[in-house]
C-alpha cells in the first residue's frame, strides 16, 4: 500500500470513528431529549398539582376566615346574651322589690280601708264627703280606692 492508500484508510478509520462518535452523541442527544420531554411532562403534572393545591388552600383559607367570623359573631352574641341576661336579672330584682313594696302598701291600705269602712258606716256625713272627693279626684288609683270604700260601705248599709 502506498502512502496515499494509507492516508485513505486512516481517513476512512477517522470517518468511521467520527461516525461512531456521532452515533453515540446522537444516541445521548436522543436520551437527553427524552429526559427533557419526561421532565416537561412531570413539570406540567407538578404545575397542575400546585394549581390544585393553591385552589384547595384558597378554599380552606376562605373557610377558616368564615369560621373565624362565625366564631366572633357567636362570641358577640354570647356576650350580648349575657348582657341581656344581666339586664333582665336586674329588672327582675327591681320588679320583685316593687312587688314587695306594693304588697306592703296593699296591706296598709286594707287596714285603712277596714278602719274607714267601720268608721264610715256610723257617720254618713263623712261618707258623703268621700263621695264628693271621689268625683273631684284626678289620681285614678286613689279614686278607685275611695270608690271601693264607698261600695263596701253601701254593701254594709244594705246589710243593716
User: Would you list the domain boundaries of the chain?
Assistant: 38-104, 121-160
Contact 113, 145 (CB under 8 A): yes
Residue 122: predicted pLDDT: 54
Distances (CA, A) of 101 to 44, 76, 134: 84, 37, 25
CA distance 132 to 125: 11
CA distance 75 to 31: 64
pTM, entire model: 0.38
Residue 21: predicted pLDDT: 92
- pLDDT tens string, the chain, 160 residues long: the values are 566 667 888 888 899 999 999 999 999 999 999 999 998 999 989 889 888 888 988 999 889 899 888 888 877 777 777 788 888 889 889 988 988 888 887 777 777 777 766 665 555 666 666 666 666 666 566 667 777 777 777 777 677 6
Distances (CA, A) of 55 to 51, 60, 127: 6, 9, 92
Amino acid at each position: 500500500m502506498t502512502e496515499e492508500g494509507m492516508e485513505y484508510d486512516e481517513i476512512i478509520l477517522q470517518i468511521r470513528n467520527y461516525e461512531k462518535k456521532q452515533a453515540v452523541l446522537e444516541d445521548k442527544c436522543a436520551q437527553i431529549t427524552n429526559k427533557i420531554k419526561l421532565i416537561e411532562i412531570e413539570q406540567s403534572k407538578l404545575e397542575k398539582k400546585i394549581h390544585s393545591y393553591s385552589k384547595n388552600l384558597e378554599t380552606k383559607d376562605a373557610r377558616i376566615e368564615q369560621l373565624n367570623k362565625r366564631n366572633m359573631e357567636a362570641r358577640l352574641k354570647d356576650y350580648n346574651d349575657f348582657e341581656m341576661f344581666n339586664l333582665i336579672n336586674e329588672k327582675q330584682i327591681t320588679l320583685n322589690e316593687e312587688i314587695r313594696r306594693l304588697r306592703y302598701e296593699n296591706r296598709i291600705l286594707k287596714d285603712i280601708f277596714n278602719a274607714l269602712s267601720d268608721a264610715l258606716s256610723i257617720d254618713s256625713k263623712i261618707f258623703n264627703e268621700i263621695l264628693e272627693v271621689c268625683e273631684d279626684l284626678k289620681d285614678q288609683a286613689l279614686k278607685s280606692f275611695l270608690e271601693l270604700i264607698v261600695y263596701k260601705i253601701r254593701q254594709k248599709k244594705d246589710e243593716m
